[in-house]
Amino acid sequence: MTHLIQRYPLVFSLVLVLSALLVDVYSGVVIGHLAGALTIAQLGSITGGIVALGVAVLVQVLHWWRMIGFRSPRQWGGLLWFLPFVLYGFLPLGAGVTATPGTLLVGIMAGFLIAFWKLSVLGILLAALAPWGKWARVGISAVLFGVMHLGGILAGGHIAPTIMLSVSYAFLAVAYGSLVVRTGALWPAVLTYGVFLASAFAILKSAAPNLATDVSSILPAVFAAVVLAVYGLIALSGTPASLAPREHAPSLVTGTEQNQHVQ
């Protein structure tokens, strides 16, 4: 499969994004219809678990755990780049926690499951597009990450707010993708984004985090994502030449060859 990805990285990326989008949306629709009255956190934990399992199987088949960033960072000091994302993760709590302890626990589980699969998809995109150079791989991955969040339209969300929300996710992907390329580690992004989603579930009452009713409600998220994207690009611009994408292009080696390089 790695040879097909190497030959058709963009096609693979599109198929991956569309598959994740459809499974996420329609698993939620089916489960919501069959299970009846589920809270947003409960539904998110179930659908998040389903997609997370599928993504984990794909990564395992490809032997890409280390390649997409589940490994030690190139330099431990590089993790300091993620500090603003820690603050970002707790921002939703400024609105006040409305969830009960039980709901909060489910929300934490849902948040980290969703963060795992979404950021893992971003990591796979960055890996597949690695030979294209650091700017192209981050830019294209971000656009596709934004497209992956248009599923709210299929779920009955309003078109304009959903598009605006997907734009905010694209900027957020620029931010996270830039730091993943800079540090070589994806797991800090998963952890900080998991904190953000768990915080969001803690303040939700009935609205799904991927559905918006009006554009104005999305503008703060877009603004925050743009600021983080600029920050990420600053980090990316300082990526040493020794970390050139072609040198570390994971799509060019098999799992066996990868282990030899690591050793």
Share of the chain above pLDDT 70, in %: 86
Q: What is the pLDDT of residue 248?
A: 46
Question: pTM for this structure?
Answer: 0.87
Tell me the two tokens of residue 121: 């998809």
Res 244: pLDDT: 44
Q: What is the pLDDT of residues 63-74, one digit of tens each?
A: 999 999 999 999
pLDDT digit string, tens, across residues 209-250: 555 567 777 888 899 999 999 999 999 998 765 454 443 444
Q: Is the pLDDT of residue 166 over 90?
A: yes
Give 33-85 pLDDT, tens digit per residue: 887 778 788 888 999 999 999 999 999 999 999 999 999 999 999 999 999 99
Length, in residues, of the chain? 263
Residue where the block lists tokens 């979404």 = 118
Give which of 114, 124, 144, 123 is closest to 186, Cα–Cα. Answer: 123
